[in-house]
Structure 1
Amino acid sequence: MNSALQLFMRGIDALSDGAGKIAAWCLFAIGFFITYEVVMRYVFVAPTIWVDEVSRYLMVWVVFLSSAYVLKRQEMITIEVFLAEPSSLGRKLAETLATVMLLIFAGTAVYFGFQIWLKYTLAGHTTDSYLAPPKWLTHAPVWVGGLLFSLQGLVQLIRVWRDELPTPKDNTLEISH
């Protein structure tokens, strides 16, 4: 079972890494689209009708896809004044409480997000915008990202209690004289 658990954990880590890479490429695309829009609007005086809408939809996907990647890399905001030692019982309990709270939120988002997504997908609804993309495109990131975030949260809980959490990078500023 230990090897099955390790395989599960590596699989979720790989999914989170893949989601993070997709999110990064979406950010690149958004930057490209906005640059294109600026050139079209101010150089050629021919603004587009699609850049704003497509960029907003991609940004929603970025937010939800990147959450599992950020959790995996332990880049969430943490305050370690009293619980700096990763293997202490207090730190493990604090990490567990924080992760369980995140899982409750993510689980709620997955549950209701999936229901809304399914309802609008089966009904064939589209957005009330000029491009009118299908609503499943705008509702799917909530439950897809939430599910991946939840799975990564379970992996992180396992790592907390097995003392396998990587040490976060030192992000302090060094001032040299």
Structure 2
Amino acid sequence: MLLIRLIDGLNEVVGRVVSWVAVLFAGLIIYDVVLRYVFNAPTLWAFDLTKHLFGFYFILLGGYALRHQAHVRVDLVTGALKPTPRRIVELLGYPLFFFPFAWVFVTQSYTFALRSWNQGETTYSAMQMPVYPVKIAMAVAAVLLLMQGVSEFLKLLLNKSEENRNVG
């Protein structure tokens, strides 16, 4: 199904691109530690920037993680079930739990980001970095997560096997 391939492909690309933020994040931490402890010249900006990068990294990988079934799951019930009842429980779980949560996440993070943008919100540190990029990323991540949930639900509905669900 084209919609499934598009959503999966989008989250795959976002996940692979955002994963490189970890390299940048690690480099900045090493840079700051070396300046602080070797040269006794700490930066004013590195700590805030690494917090922002970690926020981008952590939040934007939600859809990618769902695509690869990497989220924490409660398998106490479903783990003991045969494939068909497990599929039914998962099918019910999306409209009962996932979609309502994801919708609240989308709407509230959008409101949160819009307010931050309109206020020109910044950090309270000496650098006063803008906060709204991370909050906008949260809204984008919520949409990506909701879209991936639609993809996973459609895969279940169309009875795609577990192997096919994890392959691009």
Q: Under TM normalisation by the shorter chain, which class is it?
A: 0.7 to 0.9
Quote the Cα distance in structure 1 between the aligned partners of 2:8 and 2:99: 17
Q: CA RMSD in A?
A: 2.0
Correspondence for 2:124: 128
Residue 26 of structure 1 contacts residue 58 of structure 1 at CA under 8 Å; is this kept in 2? yes
2:2 to 4, 7, 17: 7
Quote the Cα distance in structure 2 between the aligned partners of 1:123 and 1:41: 33
Residue 67 of structure 1 contacts residue 149 of structure 1 at CA under 8 Å; is this kept in 2? yes
Residue 126 of structure 1 contacts residue 135 of structure 1 at CA under 8 Å; is this kept in 2? yes
Letter in 2 for 1:163: N
Greater CA drift, 31-40 or 151-160:
31-40
Greater CA drift, 154-163 or 136-145:
136-145
Correspondence for 1:118: 114
Correspondence for 1:173: none
Correspondence for 1:82: 80
Give unpaired runs (5+ residues) of structure 2: none
The question of 1:28 aligning with 2:26 is answered: no
Q: Alignment length, in residue pairs?
A: 161
Between Structure 1 and Structure 2, which shows a larger proportion of helix residues? 2
1:43-64 per-residue CA deviation (whole Å, 9 max, x = no partner) reads: 1111112121111111111122
Quote the Cα distance in structure 2 between the aligned partners of 1:33 and 1:158: 40
2:49 to 28, 32, 54: 54
* Cα deviation, residue 162, structure 1: 1.1
Letter in 2 for 1:96: L
1:131-172 per-residue CA deviation (whole Å, 9 max, x = no partner) reads: 222232131122110110000000100001212143389xxx
Correspondence for 1:40: 35
1:108 to 104, 111, 121: 104
Greater CA drift, 119-128 or 61-70:
119-128
SS at match of 2:162: coil
Residue 41 of structure 1 contacts residue 47 of structure 1 at CA under 8 Å; is this kept in 2? yes
Residue 15 of structure 2 contacts residue 61 of structure 2 at CA under 8 Å; is this kept in 1? yes
1:65-87 per-residue CA deviation (whole Å, 9 max, x = no partner) reads: 111001001122342531252xx
1:85-137 per-residue CA deviation (whole Å, 9 max, x = no partner) reads: 2xx0x212221233331222221111011112112213333232222222321
Give unpaired runs (5+ residues) of structure 1: 1-5, 170-177
Residue 102 of structure 2 contacts residue 145 of structure 2 at CA under 8 Å; is this kept in 1? yes
TM-score, structure 1 length as denominator? 0.81
The question of 1:154 aligning with 2:150 is answered: yes
Residue 23 of structure 1 contacts residue 62 of structure 1 at CA under 8 Å; is this kept in 2? yes
Quote the Cα distance in structure 1 between the aligned partners of 2:47 and 2:82: 43
Letter in 2 for 1:164: K
